[in-house]
Amino acid sequence: MADVVASRPAPAVKRRLRNYLVDRSLQLRYVIFVTVLSAVIMGTLTYLIYAQMHKATAMLAGALAADDPQSIVGDLQQNDQRLVVVMALVGLGLIVVLTVSLIVMTHKVAGPLYKIGTYLDEITEHRLPQIHAIRKGDEFHSFFNKFKNMTDALEERARRDVSVFREVLAACEKLPGSTSGELGHALAELRALKGKKEAALPGS
């Protein structure tokens, strides 16, 4: 069957920040994990660098104690403190960048999965969904195309069944006793089945 995913483009929706968390449970789990891990790494790195700088400061202050120790030690300690502040700001900036980047990246995964899950819910309720193409930049395009082809095949089969039911009903309703007896009962069931098939079609 021809790939017709692009024939039904997704409605134009602006990507706003609040729309990036389409599956909070999935996305926030990874965001929190990476954020905490980044904070631990940056905190550990900052502490190790500060510890080395502080050790070097103490050694240098001891070696120059005969000169102007108060001024030297004060300057070195201020440098150590400034280093901690700079490292903390860099770490905070890195965490923010990683968090935002991860939200965007997980959105490109969670968005298509959320949409497919919605379509599967409709199929479970015996309704064939009208499939729209996922947005440019999202993941799972190949899988989504196959899913679209599957639903197209189901829709084509359902329309063919409805057409056959109509032909059978039109032919049988001309027979004597088509409104009573076993034939009438069978035709009533066939009409009900045809109605369910029609109601399941997209746009019904």
- For residues 112 and 119, the answer to whether their CB atoms sit within 8 Å is no
Work out the percent of the chain whose per-residue pLDDT is above 90: 7
Q: Decide if pLDDT at 3 tops 60.
A: no
Integer-rounded Cα Rg, in Å, for the chain is 33
Q: What does the mean pLDDT of the chain come to? A: 80
pLDDT tens per residue across span 140-164: 888 999 999 999 999 999 999 999 9
Looking at residue 155, its amino acid is E
pTM higher than 0.75 for the full model? Answer: no
- For residues 135 and 156, the answer to whether their CB atoms sit within 8 Å is no
